[in-house]
C-alpha cells in the first residue's frame, strides 16, 4: 500500500488502523452507523474525530448522542441502542459495569480540569473566587449527579480549606446556587447569556467561539480537580468493529492531537 502524499503521517497511521475492517461493508454497499453516547463536554473533539473516521471509512456514518453522563448511562441501562459510551467520570462507567451493560474493560483516554467563568460584563463585579460566597451572587452549577456538578462541589470543599477562604465557603456558595443543570453545556450557556453571575465548567468548554463572552478564573492548584474520561464498548453493540476503529483513532497520535487542540489532556492507551 502506497502512502498518499497529501495525507499527514499521523492520520495515515490512523487510516491504516480503521480502513481495513470495512471491507465487508464496502462489498455489501451498505452504510453502517456507529452510535456513540458521549459526555456533553466531548462534543467538539468527538465531532472532529467522527468526521475524520467518516473520511477514512466512506461507508460509515458516525452518530453522536451528547448529554450528561448520568443521562446517557440511564438510557443505556434502560436498553437504548449504543455502540460506545464515553463518560466524564468513572462513577457512571462503574454504574453500567455493575448493570452488565459494558463489553470489555473501560480505559481512561483523557483528563480535564475545572475553571470558574463569569459573563464578560461581570455584573456581580467578581474579581476573586472568594466573592462567589458573597450574598446575592447568582451561581449556576451542574446537578450533583452530573460529573461536572460533583467535581464542582468537591472543588468548593477544597477551596474552603485554602488560606483566605472561610471555613463555610462551600456552603455559602451552594446557598447562592440558582440553577442546577443536567450537563456542563447548560452551565456554560446560562453564564454566557448573563442568566447567572458565575458557574463552574471544564477548561475545554471555553472554546474560542465562547471565550469572548466570558471571563475565566483558574482554581488554585490545591483545589483543582482532575476529571477522568473513560470509554468502553456497550454490550450488544451492533457495530463492534467500527467501535474498535473509533477507539483506535481516539488513542492514535492523530486522535491525541485532536484532544490536545480541544484543551483535553490525552492519556496514553493501555498496553495490549
- Domain 112-226: which topology? D-Maltodextrin-Binding Protein; domain 2 (3.40.190)
Cα separations (Å) of 48 from 108, 205, 259?
Answer: 19, 15, 10
- List residues bridging with 140 in a β-sheet: 179, 199
How distant is the alpha carbon of residue 202 from its chain centre? Answer: 8
Task: Give domain limits for the chain.
Answer: 9-110+228-266, 112-226
pLDDT of residue 28: 52
Homologous superfamily, domain 9-110+228-266: Periplasmic binding protein-like II (3.40.190.10)
112-226 shares the fold of 9-110+228-266: yes
Helix (H) or strand (E) holding 36: strand 32-39
**Would you give per-residue pLDDT tens digits along the chain (272 residues)?**
333 333 343 333 333 343 334 444 444 567 899 999 999 999 999 999 999 999 999 999 999 999 999 999 999 999 999 999 999 999 999 999 999 999 999 999 999 999 999 999 999 999 999 999 999 999 999 999 999 999 999 999 999 999 999 999 999 999 999 999 999 999 999 999 999 999 999 999 999 999 999 999 999 999 999 999 999 999 999 999 999 999 999 999 999 999 999 999 999 877 66
Distance CA 118, CA 200 (A): 9
DSSP count for the chain of H helices, then E strands: 11, 10
What is the reported pTM? 0.86
Distance CA 89, CA 146 (A): 9
Residue 9, pLDDT score: 36
Cα distance between residue 220 and residue 52, in whole Å: 36
Amino acid at each position: 500500500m502506497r502512502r498518499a502524499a497529501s495525507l499527514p503521517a499521523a492520520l495515515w497511521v490512523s487510516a491504516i488502523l480503521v480502513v481495513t475492517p470495512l471491507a465487508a461493508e464496502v462489498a455489501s454497499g451498505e452504510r453502517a452507523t456507529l452510535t456513540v453516547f458521549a459526555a456533553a463536554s466531548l462534543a467538539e473533539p468527538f465531532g472532529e474525530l467522527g468526521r475524520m473516521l467518516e473520511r477514512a471509512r466512506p461507508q460509515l456514518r458516525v452518530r453522536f448522542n451528547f448529554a450528561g453522563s448520568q443521562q446517557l448511562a440511564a438510557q443505556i441501562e434502560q436498553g437504548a441502542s449504543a455502540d460506545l459510551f464515553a463518560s466524564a467520570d468513572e462513577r457512571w462507567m462503574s454504574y453500567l459495569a455493575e448493570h452488565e451493560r459494558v463489553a470489555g474493560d473501560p480505559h481512561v483516554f483523557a483528563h480535564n480540569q475545572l475553571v470558574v467563568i463569569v459573563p464578560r460584563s461581570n455584573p456581580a463585579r467578581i474579581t476573586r473566587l472568594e466573592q462567589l460566597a458573597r450574598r446575592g451572587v447568582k451561581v449556576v452549577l451542574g446537578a450533583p449527579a452530573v460529573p461536572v456538578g460533583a467535581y464542582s462541589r468537591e472543588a468548593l470543599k477544597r477551596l474552603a480549606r485554602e488560606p483566605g477562604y472561610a471555613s463555610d465557603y462551600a456552603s455559602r456558595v451552594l446557598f447562592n446556587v440558582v440553577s442546577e443543570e443536567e450537563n456542563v453545556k447548560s452551565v456554560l450557556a446560562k453564564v454566557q447569556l448573563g442568566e447567572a453571575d458565575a458557574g463552574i465548567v471544564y477548561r475545554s468548554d471555553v472554546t474560542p467561539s465562547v471565550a469572548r463572552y466570558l471571563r475565566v478564573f483558574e482554581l488554585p492548584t490545591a483545589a483543582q480537580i482532575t476529571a477522568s474520561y473513560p470509554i468502553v464498548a456497550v454490550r450488544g453493540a451492533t457495530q463492534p468493529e467500527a467501535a474498535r476503529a473509533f477507539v483506535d483513532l481516539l488513542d492514535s497520535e492523530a486522535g491525541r492531537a485532536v484532544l490536545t487542540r480541544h484543551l483535553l489532556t490525552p492519556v496514553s492507551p493501555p498496553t495490549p
